[in-house]
Structure 1
Amino acid sequence: MNQADTLYVPALAPALKHPTIFKHFDALPPGNAFQIINDHDPKPLYYQLLAERGNIFQWQYLENGPEQWVVEIKKNEAGITIGEIVAKDIRKAGVFKKFGIDFCCGGKKTLKQACEKAQVDVATVEAALENADAHTTTPAFDFSRWEADFLTDYIYNQHHVYYYQEGPVILELAEKVTARHGAQHQNLCLVLALYKKLQEELNAHFLKEENILFPFIKGLVAAKKAKNEGLLYEFLSISEPIEMMESEHEIAGELLGHLRLATDDFTPPAGSCNSFRLLYSKLQDLEADLQQHIHLENNILFPKALALEKELSKG
């Protein structure tokens, strides 16, 4: 990458820093990248770029401080993202699951990028997506039309409550099955350890959503409806809790992937007892529920909240 493809941000006047970066990004051909060098973490720029340009870029740290931060910003090739495809039609999620394409944590990739990562043919997936239109019924809910505050309530009641009810049952089953069959099936010890780690992550994550992020989003909606910015909670920006939630989603996604590997795609061994089969079935159901949960937040709720904050900030 030559010097023309690199912006040294500290040399720019404060009022010109973000406008200059945006101008550089807008002029960038799809598929190309440039680098910015800064004297502090430019993460706020990431969220401004996301809010004003959408999920059409990739952000990669090449150096991460403490004295210098270097970030490569790459404009995606033409085409909407996986997350946007599923946000518009949840029926498409089944197609992506079939091909092993991550539509929740990996929702910011374009179809071509996602297919390359999953090592599947783009044309084959595109045909399957078109086939989904013809052979599946209209989805029950169009989540993209929902107000952000209503969506937070739905996520809590549909997904948080599900986990609070099923989580302890899965833990009890995992401990029971491991105690009885762990000597014969040594992978069960790993399954139990992974599930306990996942449960630890989710317990802390859901509390943050319920006590910090969701109330903040409801505050944004209330402020918009009342046309009163004074109703907002005293956060610097909603981008900070969203960044934390997305990072924790990545951790949960990795743990789910490890669980799938440890259970051979949730396939119990031949001759397994009812408890063994039930454990794997419930783990698979939990994975599906968490994928839908993360998709709703990463690809619908969070962009709505960022756009709403941007709208309010303009007065």
Structure 2
Amino acid sequence: METTIDNILNVTLLEPKHKHPTIFLRYDALNEGESLIIHNDHDPKPLYYQLLGERGNVFTWEYLEEGPVWWKVKIRKNIAGEIDETMGELAAKDLRKAEVFKKYGLDFSCSGKKTVKEACAEKGLDVTKVEQELQQTDKVPASHPMPYDEWELDFLVDYIVNTHHRFLRKNLPDITTNANKVMEVHSDLHPELVEINHLVKALNSELIEHIGKEEKMLFPYIKELVRADKSTPRPQSAYFKSIEDVVGNHEKEHETVGNSLNRIKTLTHNYVLPEDACASYSLLYRMLREFEEDTLLHIHLENNILFPKAIQLEKYDETN
């Protein structure tokens, strides 16, 4: 016999064979947007995966209490048409969530179009744990991060150029020089430095060419769209027919950069220095870590905020 108060189900009062069937019946009886809270004496995580497998990605799972005596979970039936936001969309709205993604090695920049469930499944991660930490960020007072998602696109373009493009032009030559220097001195005992040096040289060449194309072709056009008078014809680019025609290539180049950064991170064991590291070795790892952090934010701002909004703006101009 079950005990129900409002919409709470104490499953410890049910026979084991009746627990999941009863929860499914109660869930199916919910109207869209309504929730069921279950009380259990152990983590009901297997229920999450059964519910996902049998009903699909149509619910939200939130831990309200996690032991050691009670586990309380709120299961909400999503409203029809609601879909999981992608990692890029989540990070664009609240960059605190990006810290959770980074903690679990989830690429919210280059792979920002994937949902949390999709990304966790690919990496074999416990999605309930990741989603729980994402929910917890909503309960922490905001620290007034940069409101990138609220900026006008011309301002965002200038910010990317003046902050991230400048970082690359200033730091990549030094990173490249130091990677080669450390390789020459330490590669006998640390052969991974040869590949790291090769990757850094390739990234230097690829990124400098990439940001040059952005500054010459794509970014000026986006700024023209923002400034355009709605009573005049939409600006035309001399280099492409529409933003969608070129964004795909830019995102592929971002993905190549992301793959190289991930490889460097793997080769350096997440930038953990060997015992015989000299000052130059230590400097290289610090520079590589800063390079990764800046570049992932850079790619996030473009893939998940600038490009989608620019495409939307261009389409709006076409229909008005």
Q: TM-score range by the shorter chain?
A: 0.7 to 0.9
Q: CA deviation at 1:143?
A: 1.1
The count of aligned residue pairs is: 242
Q: Which has the higher mean CA deviation after the structures are superposed, 279-288 or 131-140? A: 131-140
Q: Which residue of 2 aligns with 1:108?
A: 113
Q: Deviations over 1:207-255 (max 9, x none)?
A: 11110110111111122x4542254334311111211111100111111
Find the aligned partners of 1:101 and 1:313 in 2 and give their Cα distance.
36
* Residue 237 (structure 2) pairs with residue 233 (structure 1): yes
User: What residue in structure 2 maps to residue 208 of structure 1?
Assistant: 213
Contact 2:92/2:305 (CA < 8 Å) preserved in 1? yes
For residues 77 and 256 of structure 1, the distance between their equivalents in structure 2, rounded to whole angstroms, comes to 34
Residue 271 of structure 1: aligned partner? 276
Corresponding position: 1:83 with 2:88:
yes
1:91-132, Cα deviation, whole Å (9 max, x unpaired) = 111100001111011111112111112221121112211222
Contact kept in structure 1, 2:225 and 2:234, CA below 8 Å: no
Which one of the candidate residues 124, 133, 137 is aligned to 1:132? 137
Tell me what 2:260 maps to. 255
Partner secondary structure for residue 139 of structure 2: helix
What is the distance in 2 between the residues matched to 1:230 and 1:279?
Answer: 47
Contact 1:30 1:78 in 2 (8 A): no
CA positional deviation for 1:30 = 8.1
| Structure 2 letter corresponding to 1:144 | D
| Per-residue CA distance 1:242-269 (angstroms, 9 max, x = gap) | 1111110011111111111121111110
State the TM-score, normalized to the length of structure 1.
Answer: 0.73
For residue 167 of structure 1, what is the amino acid of its counterpart? Answer: L
Report what 1:170 is aligned to.
Answer: 175
* Alpha-carbon spacing, 1:222–1:233, altered in 2? closer, same or farther (3 Å): farther
* Greater Cα radius of gyration, structure 1 or 2: 2
**Residue 148 of structure 2 contacts residue 156 of structure 2 at CA under 8 Å; is this kept in 1?**
yes
* One-letter identity of the residue aligned with 2:280: S
Query: Equivalent residue for 2:189?
Result: 184
Aligned counterparts of 1:288 and 1:153: Cα–Cα separation in 2:
19
Q: AA paired with 1:159? A: H
Partner of 1:19: none
Shift of 1:77: 8.7
8 A Cα contact 2:156 2:306, kept in partner: yes
- 1:263-313: CA deviation from partner (whole Å, max 9, x where unpaired): 111111013111101101110110111110010000000001000011011
Mapped to 1, the partners of 2:210 and 2:186 lie a distance apart of 31
Give the TM-score, by structure 2 length: 0.72
Query: Using the alignment, how far apart are the partners of 2:261 and 2:130 within structure 1?
Result: 23
Q: Partner letter of residue 265 of structure 1?
A: N
Determine the C-alpha separation between the residues in 1 that align with 2:91 and 2:103: 14
After TM superposition, the structure 1 = structure 2 runs for residues 283-298 of structure 1, keeping only pairs within 5 Å, are 283-298=288-303
Cα distance, 1:285–1:136 mapped onto 2, change above 3 Å: farther
Letter aligned with residue 134 of structure 2: L
- Code of the aligned partner of 1:157: N
From 306, 310, 320, the equivalent of 1:301 is: 306
Percent of aligned positions that are identical? 42
Q: Is the 8 A contact 1:222 1:231 kept in 2?
A: no
Q: Aligned in 2, Cα 1:149/1:259: closer, same or farther, shift over 3 Å? A: same
- Greater shift, 266-275 or 282-291, is seen at 266-275
Q: Is the 8 A contact 2:88 2:112 kept in 1?
A: yes
Tell me the equivalent position of 2:200: 195
* Cross-structure match for 2:317: 312
The equivalent residue for 2:75 is: none
- Map 1:40-51 to 2 at 5 A: none
Q: CA deviation at 1:138?
A: 2.8
Report the RMSD for the aligned CA atoms in angstroms.
2.0
State the shift of 1:144 in Å.
1.1
Structure 1 residues 218 and 138: CA distance shift in structure 2, 3 A: same
Match runs of 1:60-75 below 5 Å: none
- CA–CA distance in structure 1, aligned partners of residues 300 and 190 of structure 2: 33
